[in-house]
Amino acid sequence: MLGFDLPGFLAAVGEAAPAPGDIVLAVGCPPQVEIEGSLVGLEMAGLERLTPYQTETVILHLLAIAPAPVAARLRAEGAAHFAYSVPGVSRFRVAAFSQRGTFAVSLRKIPDRVPRLAELALPDVLTQACGEGSGVVLVNGPAGSGRTTSLAAMVAEINATRSCHVVTVEDPIEFLHRHQRATVNQREVGIDTPSLAVGLAEALWQGAQVILASEVRSAEEARLLLEAAETGHLVLSTVRGFDTAGALRRLLGFFDSEEQNEVRQRLAGVLRWSFAQRLLTLEQGRRAVVEVWRATRATLASLVGGPLDSSSLAEVLRDREGEGQKSFDQELERLVRQGALAPDKAIQAAVEPRRLEQLLADQRGGSE
């Protein structure tokens, strides 16, 4: 029975699709690759419909080279995610898991070189955020929105411009940073430290001036993030959410209701910037569309005592656009006006679709 040569397969995919999205291997389907948001089956001899034996071959290959804690987690819990390198091809972020008695694997290519902020066409204010001496900077968004890449680019900016000690706590390590002006030490959850929380607590004693923490998923991790910022560290991290309001609600939702007011006060004392991004297909290809929140009197007042619904926060950001802030829908509107994004796609992606639809209709009417 035909097995599965994962390194050879990934090399072939790299030649056929130089910039693939997620690569999915699942029983009963051909190998699939994400291209501009859609999964496309690959026509490859012997792989028209993957068998349980073929995906198990992939898992056995990964288990043989994965660090012992990762392999143990996959065996014990039925799922694990980690980084995987194919010499001469690339590094990949791997999610391996069992489903209905068989195995499936999702791989995402990690660029060989850490991209710089300018290459990602991100707002210039992200560079300004990298210069903060302390506090919290969040890069938020849904899964697959490019948050990890943006954070890596921010670390690269700090590495190139600041003489400081950077400690990252990542799950897993994706981009590899070489020491430049900064000294960058990267720690992987499950290998170098047992958990994100432990890694964050340890970073406070490791002489770090800048700390990068993978996605915050619990009250314990959020408390340590706040403590690190309150003790003079610059902390870069991420929370899932379609916009800043959603990310902040998720962060507060980790805490009991009676504790949330105190957390709001603490967060208002240290949160410097919050960026929320999503990858959209524009006329010239896919790129991140970014909402920008920064600490001002109005935004901090909203954070401390105002409603954290998307509409209310978007209104605050719209009113403060001159201060370098912008809501997600404002950026969509700008892209439509520039001809870079079709109106229907903008409305589909909007936080407030009806409002954006009416605004675009008014603009078209006014120009006729």
Q: Are residues 92 and 125 in the same domain?
A: no
193 within 8 A of 199, measured Cβ to Cβ: yes
pLDDT digits (tens, 9 = 90+) for 232-265: 999 999 999 988 999 999 999 999 999 999 999 9
CATH code of the domain in which 271 resides? 3.40.50.300
* Cα end-to-end span (Å), the chain: 66
Does residue 302 lie within any of the structural domains?
yes
Does residue 299 lie within any of the structural domains?
yes
Positions in the chain whose pLDDT score sits under 70: 1-2, 16-20, 45, 320-322, 365-368
What is the pLDDT, as a whole number, of residue 294?
93
Q: Are residues 180 and 217 in the same domain?
A: yes
Does residue 345 lie within any of the structural domains?
no
Q: Are residues 229 and 282 in the same domain?
A: yes
What is the pLDDT, as a whole number, of residue 315?
85
Q: Are residues 180 and 91 in the same domain?
A: no
318 within 8 A of 308, measured Cβ to Cβ: no
Q: Which domain holds residue 84?
A: 6-110
Q: Are residues 106 and 121 in the same domain?
A: no
Does residue 364 lie within any of the structural domains?
no
Q: Are residues 175 and 141 in the same domain?
A: yes
Q: Are residues 244 and 123 in the same domain?
A: yes
Q: Are residues 64 and 169 in the same domain?
A: no
Q: Are residues 229 and 128 in the same domain?
A: yes
Does residue 368 lie within any of the structural domains?
no
Cα separation, 157 vs 149, in Å, equals 12
Tell me the three state secondary structure of residue 193: strand
Q: Are residues 103 and 124 in the same domain?
A: no
| Paired residues of 96 in beta bridges | 80, 105
Q: Are residues 56 and 121 in the same domain?
A: no
Number of domains in the chain: 2
309 within 8 A of 269, measured Cβ to Cβ: no
Does residue 312 lie within any of the structural domains?
yes
Q: CA separation (Å) from 347 to 100, 309, 358?
A: 38, 19, 10
